[in-house]
Each structure stands twice: as structure tokens, then as C-alpha cells.
């Protein structure tokens, strides 16, 4: 498969799946902590662990489903069976969450039911998320994956933009309506994938004559020895710990500790996160071409440095207008990191193990999601302020910088053929 045969239109359509996932998680991460703390009056530490239910499931499911999908062969492809059987169910469960306290009242039974629905929703989302992302390397040769990932993340940024500027504002006033809109968009996105992405026609993996056994799939899943890959996965762990603390607690901090009216503080926080998402979206496609031009490691290093500058600025500066510019820098930096990190992981994999190595990437990112919210919440309870999330995030961004410097980049195979 040559570069000329890469269908960026197909990648754009594939991006609708990532758009719906990013939209759902943006609303989930900003609104669920508020529901749990404002409605059920839970501590930051407890909220952090409840938010971890999805991450614990994801860290188990995404690598496992990635390895399973590498070996799966059906009439509709390797990844599609997992996508169409799980994401629509997850969307329906997500839409039900804000109805629970309205229907059941605010009591222990209502809280337990909310946690159960969150638990089931995240099983469904955990099954579907990895295969959606694995479709990208299935469709694109290695040397084009950074630009392709840029397109997908452009769509993901658009999803987050929709979340923070539109659906998030609706949700701040009417959570059931906001959550319903998110669920409907994800179901539509799955239909787009099913109709327009035909794996047996479009996938370079299914066109390959090489097959992979179950034993090989799980051997690769459980046996990582490459020092460079290990340091890369550690760096991914650290920068997601840094980012997740801000994503989880920034809206709560602005709503409850900024000195503003809670709804005004929440709206302002979502606006700033929306600015970050907009700059991420605008810079996602250029980030892919930058990674292709100067190398993925160098692009990621630039992103981490920008992330550190952003976080240090949030610690020092108080002016609302200046802070908005910091979120622009943060969005550009996060694009440089995110667009090039998954392709950098996949460079260590052979063609037949793209789902497995996608699972490695998500293992690190989801492990960060397990560690970050409760740890940041615990520190917020200890120091009696959520402002601690800013130095906390800066510290882990610096650790990510140190870790990525230890990685010797493996170049994409420009002579790739099927």
C-alpha cells in the first residue's frame, strides 16, 4: 500500500468515532465530579476513587480487547464487532446517569445506583474505545500515522470543543438534556463508522497474508522487554497523570474555590478548557506533520516543555485574561504530545500487533487515570485546597520530560508494504 492510496477521507470519517468518545469523556470528567460533590456531598478523595471505577475497568479491558481484536476475523472486520456491540450501549447508560437523583432522590440507594450505572457504562466504553483507535493504524502505513492521528485528534478536539462550548453549557443548566445529546451523538458516530469504513476493503492488516495466533497475541501483551518502549510508556503515564488532575478538578476548583458564583465559576472553567480544546484541535493536524518532519520524540519534547510553561503560569498568574492565553499554549502543547505518542508506540510493533500495542498505550494512560484523581484529591483534602492540582501537575510533567529523554526513537518503516 503506497502513500498515494492513503484515504484521508476515510480517516476523517473514522474521526467521528473519536469525536464522540472525546465528547463523552469531556462531559464525564467535568460533570460527574460536580454531580458527586454538589449533589451527594462527597469528599474529593472519595470522588477520585469513584471516578477511578472506569479507569480500573479500562486498564483491564482495553489491552485485552486490543489483543483479542488482533486475532478476530469476521465478515465486518477485526475491530467493528467490538465497536458496534459496546459503544451504543455505553451511550444509553451515560444518558441515564443524571436522571438517577431526579427519579430516586438524593439518598444512599440513589448514590449506589449512580455508581452501578457508571460501572456498567465504563465496561461498554472500555470494550469499544481501543478498537476505534486501532482502526487508524489498520488503515494507514507507519510513515503516515502522525498526520493521520492528527486528523483523528482534530476530530477529538472538535468533540471536546462541542463539550465545553455547547453541550457543557447546556449540561450546566440541564444535565439530563446535556447527557442525552452526548449519547445521541455517539450512536450516530457508530453508524457512520459502520456505513463508511469497510475493514475488509480498507484495512492493510486484513490484506496482509501474515496471521497471528492467540498465543502470540497474549505473549506480546504480557511480555515487554524493550527498554525504550518501557520508558516511553512511563513518560505517557506521567504526562497523563499531570493532565488528568487538571481535567478532573479544575472545574470543581473554579466552581467551589474561585470566589465566583458556582455556576459562573463552572462556566468559566469550561470556557478555559474549551479554549484548550480549540487550540488542540487547530494544531492537531500541523502537529502530525511536525512529528513526521522533525521526528516524533522531538515534537513530544516541545509539547512537554510547553505543558510545563502552562502549568507554572497557572501557579503564578491570577489574571483571568492572561490565563486564557496559557490555555492556548496548553492546547498546542497537548497536541504535540498526543498526536505523536500513539504512533511512536506503534512504531515498536509489527503490523499484526497494532491492537495489542494500542492496548499498551491505553494501559499507561488509564493507569494514570487510576493514580491521578484520588492522589490529587487526597492532596486537596490534606492541604484543604484544590489549588494543589497545579503544582502537582507541573511535577509530573517534569517527570515525563525526564522519562522521554531516555527513549531512543524507533523510526517509522518508510519501506512498509503489504
CATH assignment of the domain containing 100: 1.20.1250.20
The Cα 108–Cα 40 span in angstroms is 9
For residue 114, count other CB atoms closer than 10 A to its CB: 23
CA distance 181 to 175: 10
Residue 202 lies in a domain: no
- The residue among 175, 264, 185 whose CA lies nearest residue 24 is 185
Residue range 323-335, pLDDT digits in tens:
899 999 999 999 9
User: How far apart are alpha carbons 201 and 278 in whole angstroms?
Assistant: 34
The whole-number pLDDT of residue 363 equals 87
Of 96-110, 217-231, 264-278, 282-296, the poorest mean pLDDT is in 217-231
Of the ranges 4-8, 188-192, 319-323, 412-416, the best mean pLDDT one: 188-192
In a domain, 409, yes or no: no
Q: Is residue 213 part of a domain?
A: no
Residue 223 confidence (pLDDT) above 60: no
277 within 8 A of 161, measured Cβ to Cβ:
yes
What domain count does the chain have? 1
User: Per-residue pLDDT for 414 more than 80?
Assistant: no
Q: Does position 20 have pLDDT exceeding 60, yes or no?
A: yes
Q: Is residue 413 part of a domain?
A: no
Residues 327/276, Cβ–Cβ less than 8 Å:
yes
Mean pLDDT of the chain: 85
Please enumerate in sequence order all residues whose Cβ is within 8 A of that of 173, keeping only pairs 6 or more positions apart, or say none.
Answer: none
- Which among 377, 366, 365 has a CA at the least distance from the CA of 334? 365
Instruction: Report yes or no on 176 lying in a domain.
Output: yes
Q: What is the residue whose three cell numbers read 437523583?
A: 101
Asked if the model's pLDDT at residue 198 lies above 80, the reply is: yes
Report how far residue 360's alpha carbon sits from residue 210's, in angstroms, rounded to the nearest whole number. Answer: 22
Determine the Cα angle at 250 with ends 129 and 275, to 5°: 75
SS (H, E, C) 164-213: HHHHHHHHHHCHHHHHHHHHHHHHHHHHHHHHHCCHHHHCHHHHCCCCCC
- Tell me the backbone φ, ψ of residue 79, rounded to 5 degrees: -95, -35
For residue 4, give the DSSP letter: G
With respect to residue 81, please indicate whether it lies within any of the assigned structural domains: yes
Percent of the chain with pLDDT over 90: 33
First to last CA, the chain: 6
Average of pLDDT values for 231-251? Answer: 92
- What pLDDT shows up at residue 210? 52
Domain that holds residue 329: 3-197+223-404
pLDDT (tens digit per residue) in 360-393? 888 898 888 788 888 998 898 898 888 899 999 9
The predicted structure's pLDDT at residue 411: 65
| Locus of grid cell 506503534 | 346
Query: According to the model, what pLDDT value does residue 417 have?
Result: 41
Q: With respect to residue 216, please indicate whether it lies within any of the assigned structural domains.
A: no
Going by C-beta distance under 8 Å and a sequence separation of 6 or more, which residues neighbour residue 62? 126, 129, 130, 358, 359, 362, 363, 366
Contact present, 36 and 373 (Cβ < 8 Å): no
Which of 80, 67, 145, 118 has the alpha carbon at shortest distance from 363?
67
In a domain, 184, yes or no: yes
- pTM, whole model, 2 decimals? 0.77
Amino acid at each position: 500500500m503506497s502513500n498515494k492510496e492513503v484515504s484521508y477521507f476515510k480517516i476523517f470519517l473514522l474521526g467521528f468515532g473519536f469525536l464522540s468518545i472525546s465528547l463523552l469523556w469531556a462531559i464525564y470528567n467535568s460533570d460527574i465530579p460536580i454531580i458527586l460533590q454538589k449533589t451527594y456531598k462527597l469528599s474529593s478523595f472519595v470522588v477520585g476513587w469513584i471516578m477511578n471505577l472506569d479507569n480500573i475497568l479500562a486498564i483491564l479491558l482495553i489491552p485485552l480487547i486490543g489483543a483479542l481484536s488482533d486475532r478476530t476475523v469476521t465478515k465486518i472486520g477485526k475491530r467493528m464487532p467490538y465497536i458496534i456491540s459496546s459503544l451504543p450501549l455505553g451511550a444509553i447508560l451515560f444518558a441515564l446517569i443524571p436522571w438517577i437523583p431526579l427519579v430516586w432522590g438524593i439518598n444512599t440507594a440513589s448514590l449506589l445506583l449512580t455508581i452501578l450505572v457508571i460501572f456498567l457504562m465504563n465496561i461498554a466504553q472500555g470494550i469499544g474505545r481501543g478498537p476505534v483507535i486501532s482502526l487508524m493504524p489498520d488503515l494507514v502505513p507507519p510513515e503516515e500515522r502522525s498526520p493521520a492521528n492528527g486528523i483523528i485528534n482534530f476530530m477529538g478536539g472538535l468533540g471536546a470543543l462541542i463539550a465545553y462550548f455547547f453541550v457543557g453549557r447546556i449540561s450546566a443548566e440541564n444535565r439530563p438534556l446535556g447527557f442525552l445529546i452526548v449519547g445521541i451523538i455517539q450512536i450516530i458516530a457508530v453508524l457512520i463508522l459502520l456505513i463508511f469504513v469497510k475493514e475488509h476493503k480498507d484495512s492493510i492488516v486484513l490484506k496482509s497474508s501474515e496471521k497471528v495466533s492467540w498465543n502470540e497475541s497474549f505473549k506480546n501483551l504480557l511480555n515487554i522487554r524493550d527498554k525504550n518502549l518501557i520508558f516511553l510508556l512511563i513518560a505517557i503515564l506521567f504526562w497523563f497523570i499531570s493532565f488528568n488532575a487538571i481535567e478532573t478538578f479544575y472545574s470543581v476548583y473554579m466552581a467551589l474555590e474561585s470566589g465566583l458564583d458556582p455556576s459562573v465559576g463552572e462556566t468559566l472553567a469550561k470556557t478555559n478548557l474549551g479554549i484548550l480544546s480549540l487550540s488542540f484541535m487547530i494544531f492537531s493536524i500541523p502537529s502530525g506533520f511536525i512529528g513526521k518532519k522533525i521526528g516524533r520524540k522531538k515534537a513530544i519534547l516541545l509539547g512537554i516543555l510547553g505543558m510545563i510553561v502552562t502549568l507554572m503560569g497557572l501557579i503564578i498568574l491570577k489574571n483571568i485574561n492572561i490565563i486564557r492565553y496559557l490555555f492556548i499554549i496548553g492546547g498546542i502543547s497537548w497536541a504535540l504530545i498526543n498526536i505523536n505518542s500513539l504512533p511512536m508506540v506503534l512504531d515498536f510493533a509489527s503490523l499484526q500487533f497494532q491492537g495489542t500495542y494500542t492496548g499498551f498505550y491505553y494501559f499507561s494512560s488509564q493507569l494514570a487515570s487510576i493514580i491521578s484523581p484520588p492522589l490529587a484529591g487526597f492532596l486537596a483534602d490534606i492541604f484543604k485546597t484544590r489549588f494543589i492540582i497545579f503544582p502537582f501537575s507541573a511535577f509530573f510533567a517534569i517527570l515525563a520530560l525526564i522519562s522521554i529523554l531516555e527513549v531512543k526513537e524507533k523510526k517509522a518503516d518508510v519501506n512498509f508494504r503489504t
